[in-house]
């Protein structure tokens, strides 16, 4: 299964491509036009690489209303782009991504990066790439193609996640 991992951000979106490559996309504008920049970048990726599933880390909505509104906007322009292209997606909460990576849902970002380096020898450029890698790994694991073996304390993060019906009806679920 071709899974795209996204850690969406208004400043630096972490991307784990379907082939496992890690990149970070930073918009060039600092106003609402960055929503379109991010959407257009994701559209370019999905057109070129055609993922079967996109895994998007659910938003952490800060108490600052303006930040929450902008991050929500990023999430929805990307989700609409995925839906318009027939690509199903899941949005696991940040605590589930941390649990999958480290075994602890409240792990600091540095622990998520360290877990990636320790388990895979991949040294990401930033925490956004590390999050994107783990999010993609969750999708692969759900599809029965885990990129590595993790203890049950980590895999419990998958307990309440299910592949979208479009994928399970196509016979791609375990």
Query: What is the rounded average pLDDT of the residues 27-46?
Result: 94
Q: Which fold has domain 1-174?
A: Nucleotidyltransferase; domain 5 (3.30.420)
In which band, very low, low, confident or very high, does the pLDDT at 14 lie, cut at 50, 70 and 90? very high
Query: What is the rounded average pLDDT of the residues 22-48?
Result: 95
More confidently predicted of 95 and 58: 95
Q: Specify the pTM.
A: 0.89
Q: Where are the domains of the chain?
A: 1-174
Q: In this model, does residue 36 exceed pLDDT 50?
A: yes
pLDDT at 73: 86
pLDDT at 174: 41
Nearest to 54 by CA among 82, 78, 89: 89
**CB-side neighbour CA atoms (13 Å) of 173:** 11
Burial of 80 (0-12, 13-18, 19+ CB in 10 A): exposed
pLDDT at 173: 40
Q: What is the share, in percent, of the chain residues with pLDDT greater than 70?
A: 91
The Cα–Cα gap between 109 and 105 comes to 11
User: Contact, 137 vs 53, CB < 8 A?
Assistant: no
Query: What is the rounded average pLDDT of the residues 58-78?
Result: 74
Query: What is the rounded average pLDDT of the residues 107-130?
Result: 97
């Amino acid at each position: 299964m071709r899974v795209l991992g996204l850690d969406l951000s208004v400043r630096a979106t972490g991307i784990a491509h379907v082939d496992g490559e890690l990149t970070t996309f930073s918009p060039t504008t600092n106003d609402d036009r960055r929503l379109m920049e991010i959407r257009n970048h994701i559209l370019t990726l999905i057109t070129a690489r055609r993922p079967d599933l996109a895994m998007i880390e659910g938003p952490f909505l800060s108490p600052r209303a303006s930040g929450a509104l902008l991050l929500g906007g990023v999430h929805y322009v990307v989700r609409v782009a995925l839906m318009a292209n027939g690509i199903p997606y899941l949005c696991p909460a940040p605590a589930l991504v941390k649990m999958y990576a480290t075994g602890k849902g409240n792990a600091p970002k540095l622990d998520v990066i360290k877990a990636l380096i320790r388990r895979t020898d991949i040294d990401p450029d930033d925490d956004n790439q590390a999050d994107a890698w783990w999010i993609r790994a969750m999708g692969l694991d759900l599809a029965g193609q885990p990129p590595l073996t993790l203890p049950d304390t980590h895999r419990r993060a998958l307990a309440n996640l299910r592949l979208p019906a479009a994928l399970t009806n196509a016979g791609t679920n375990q």
